[in-house]
Amino acid sequence: MRKLVGVLAVLSIGCFAVSANAATYGWEDGVGTILGFYGNISNPTNVTDFVHTGNHALRVTEDPVGGTPQAYVAWITGLTDGDIVDASFWAYDDTPGVSPSVRIWGHYTTSDDINNYQGSASGNYDYTQGIGWEEIGWSWTFDSSGGTRDALVIEVRLYTGADPTDYYIDDLTVTTSSPTAQIHFAPEPASIALLALGALGLLRRR
């Protein structure tokens, strides 16, 4: 089921990649949203009405409320054992000590398929504190599990109270010690539509 959700939502083509040790993404292209999701993520949107810096930010919603939704905001491919990946983003939370709140998390995949889930990479166990805009981050030391995986997805994990909630994310930063890894960010909506059509065709064949 996890892979099925990912096929409909995740784009391993159409995203843009940066071959560098560090990259930032603030949704300033006006079109990008997320690379994919797991759980009850509803209507990810590139918005201009509520931002941390610049003119654009990401809005994601948990609706209906249930489980722990995960929005995929970065994908680092071409990693090997011992590579360091640092990632952070700014999230908005104005409810101190209670949900809704946000955490940064990660999971492993292979570089040829963002849908190929290869286990949790864990992350920051601290939630946003409800102080408004807040930067949260984490550092991962990559483990290939004997060469079975070579990529890492950065997640925005949502923790909602009783009602559907909008979350705002901005100013994503990713750095890696690897000289050859690629850092991928969100695709354009046209790519989303094309891949979704392909996924629906695959489902019909099955």
Q: Which stretches of the chain score pLDDT less than 70?
A: 1-15, 19, 188-206
Calpha distance 6→28 (Å, rounded)? 25
In 3D, which of 6, 27, 38 has the Cα closest to residue 155?
38
Q: What is the predicted pLDDT for the residue at 162?
A: 84
Q: What is the predicted pLDDT for the residue at 187?
A: 74
Calpha distance 130→33 (Å, rounded)? 24
Q: What is the predicted pLDDT for the residue at 189?
A: 45
Calpha distance 46→60 (Å, rounded)? 9
Q: What is the predicted pLDDT for the residue at 17?
A: 78
The SS3 call for residue 2 is helix
Residue range 2-205, CATH number: 2.60.120.260
pLDDT in tens, 44-60: 999 999 999 999 999 99
Q: What is the predicted pLDDT for the residue at 185?
A: 96
Q: What is the predicted pLDDT for the residue at 13?
A: 40
pLDDT in tens, 155-190: 999 999 888 899 999 999 999 999 999 999 997 444
